[in-house]
């Protein structure tokens, strides 16, 4: 099955112009309406302002699409959780049943790679969940990173996860983790996690060179660009950690698990922080879009 590109994204790829993939789960499941639509459109605008073409990815009527119209983004925002959250394992189902699907990081990476889009900006990637030693709850995002040749710009892994184990798993799988102008792995809302990254790059051109070298060496899979939230927007780990612990306890009490955990926890954290975490989330997504566009421009130059 081919990916249906928007005319703008198709023309850009044909001309070797920079394109940045964006996910749709953040629209349908990451934020409430209308903040989700406003953020999605603002993120696309950030990509444009920094020289690249945005291509928000989703499944619509069973068709894999890269580059949504404003009307499609609006509908995904309005219908929200009524639209299926789709990871890679779910793609055959939504395609075979001609359904709509909001793509996770894993599914967005797969479709971006299929479409020939080498750069993807998200908020925070999935990873190893806390308590995974008992639940075996590990995000499919990590598995997909061993398959799809995509540079993933992310504010680290979501702070609700077990960050040390996430980094261990990435090391085991041979996925490069590059700190973008930092020696630490960022923790989503927070710039610092206390965990070192194995490598660092200080410019978009350096990242583009690393991505190109990886794939020229016939080493398949993603390159993670760990980009900290802007300092003025962060919530220090010491402040957000007790909120996360309380939200995790509530999820356990209610029996929420699997792919329903993340949107539940993010919603609980928004309530507990009186919207501060949402503002931080929006800021870091925009920042990631900016960096992704700059890397896309450098990568397209060759």
Over the stretch 61-91, which tens digit does the pLDDT of each residue have?
999 999 999 999 999 999 999 999 999 999 9
**Rounded average pLDDT over 150-171:** 96
**Rounded average pLDDT over 273-279:** 94
Mapped onto helix, strand or coil, the DSSP state of residue 242 is: helix
For the stretch 145-148, contacts whose Cβ atoms lie closer than 8 Å and that sit 24 or more positions apart, written own/partner, are 145/109, 145/170, 145/173, 145/175, 145/221, 145/222, 145/224, 146/173, 146/174, 146/175, 146/220, 146/221, 146/222, 147/110, 147/113, 147/220, 147/221, 148/109, 148/110, 148/112, 148/113, 148/221, 148/222
**Rounded average pLDDT over 151-158:** 96
Q: Given 23, 44, 72, 144, which residue is catalytic?
A: 23
271 catalytic residue (yes or no): no
Question: What is the average pLDDT score of the chain?
Answer: 95
What pLDDT is stored for residue 265 in this prediction?
Answer: 86
* Confidence bin at 1 (pLDDT 50/70/90): confident
What pLDDT is stored for residue 287 in this prediction?
Answer: 98
Instruction: Give the architecture (CATH level 2) of 4-301.
Output: 3-Layer(aba) Sandwich (3.40)
**Rounded average pLDDT over 226-249:** 95
Over the stretch 14-27, which tens digit does the pLDDT of each residue have?
999 999 999 999 99
What pLDDT is stored for residue 298 in this prediction?
Answer: 98
pLDDT above 90 coverage of the chain, percent: 89
pLDDT above 70 coverage of the chain, percent: 100
- Do residues 95 and 64 lie in contact, with contact meaning Cβ atoms separated by under 8 Å? yes
Question: Is pLDDT at 132 greater than 90 in this prediction?
Answer: no
The domain limits of the chain are 4-301
225 bridge partner residues: 153, 178
What are residue 4's phi and psi, to 5 degrees? -85, 115
Neighbours of 180 (CB within 10 A): 24
Q: Given 65, 158, 214, 290, which residue is catalytic?
A: 158
Q: Which residue has the higher pLDDT, 133 or 56?
A: 56
196 catalytic residue (yes or no): no
């Amino acid at each position: 099955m081919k990916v249906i590109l928007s005319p703008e994204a198709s023309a850009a790829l044909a001309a070797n112009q920079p394109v940045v993939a964006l996910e749709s789960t953040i629209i349908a499941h990451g934020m409430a309406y209308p903040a989700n639509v406003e953020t999605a459109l603002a993120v696309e605008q950030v990509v444009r302002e920094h020289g690249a073409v945005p291509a928000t990815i989703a499944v619509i009527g069973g068709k894999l699409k890269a580059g949504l119209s404003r009307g499609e983004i609006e509908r995904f925002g309005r219908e929200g959780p009524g639209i299926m959250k789709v990871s890679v394992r779910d793609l055959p189902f939504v395609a075979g049943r001609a359904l709509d699907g909001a793509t996770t990081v894993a599914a967005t990476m797969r479709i971006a790679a299929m479409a020939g889009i080498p750069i993807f900006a998200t908020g925070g990637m999935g990873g190893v969940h806390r308590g995974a030693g008992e639940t075996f709850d590990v995000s499919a995002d990590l598995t997909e990173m061993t398959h799809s040749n995509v540079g993933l710009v992310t504010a680290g892994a979501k702070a609700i996860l077990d960050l040390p184990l996430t980094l261990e798993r990435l090391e085991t799988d041979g996925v490069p983790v590059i700190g973008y102008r930092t020696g630490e792995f960022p923790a989503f809302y927070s710039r610092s996690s206390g965990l070192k990254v194995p490598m660092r790059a200080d410019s978009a051109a350096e990242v583009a060179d690393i991505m190109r070298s990886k794939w020229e060496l016939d080493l398949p899979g993603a390159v993670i660009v760990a980009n900290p939230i802007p300092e003025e927007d962060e919530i220090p780990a010491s402040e957000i950690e007790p909120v996360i612990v309380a939200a995790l306890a509530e999820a356990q009490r209610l029996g929420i698990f699997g792919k329903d955990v993340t949107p539940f926890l993010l919603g609980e954290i928004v309530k507990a922080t009186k919207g501060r975490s949402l503002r931080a989330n929006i800021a870091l997504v925009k920042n990631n879009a900016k960096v992704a566009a700059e890397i896309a421009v450098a990568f397209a130059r060759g």
